[in-house]
Amino acid sequence: MAKKAVTPKSSSSNSAEALAFNKSALKQNVLILRAIDHPLRQKLLKLIDKKKNITVKEIKAKNVIDGVIVSQHLAILRKAGLVTSEKFGRIVSYSINYPAFEKAMDKFNELSK
């Protein structure tokens, strides 16, 4: 008599939770990839890394990017979690979120193997 293969039943709630988690992680990875894919944002990241903390005024002084666009690019980097901001009165200082940046790079290096 032949034995039937037994497949474990997975609960739909566990599957939905796993899918939701993966979808959330995927969205974050896409945000990060889009953020670092733009050449001007790459320049911004290099500049912030070099200075450790930098303001929009300092970025404008370097003539890296037109002043109006700087804040938009910084907002994208901040939304992706790669850059943090700290407000001192009316001045906002930006710095790289190194733990998040390194975690993202580790993920992408792992995927490229």
Return the ∠ at Cα 16 (arms to 6 and 11), rounded to 5°.
30
Region of poorest pLDDT, from 28-32, 38-42, 51-55? 28-32
Phi, psi values for residue 81, rounded to 5°:
85, 5
Q: Where are the domains of the chain?
A: 16-111
Give tens-digit pLDDT for 43-64. 999 999 998 898 888 888 887 6
Phi, psi values for residue 54, rounded to 5°:
-150, 150
Class of domain 16-111: mainly alpha
**pTM to 2 decimals?**
0.71
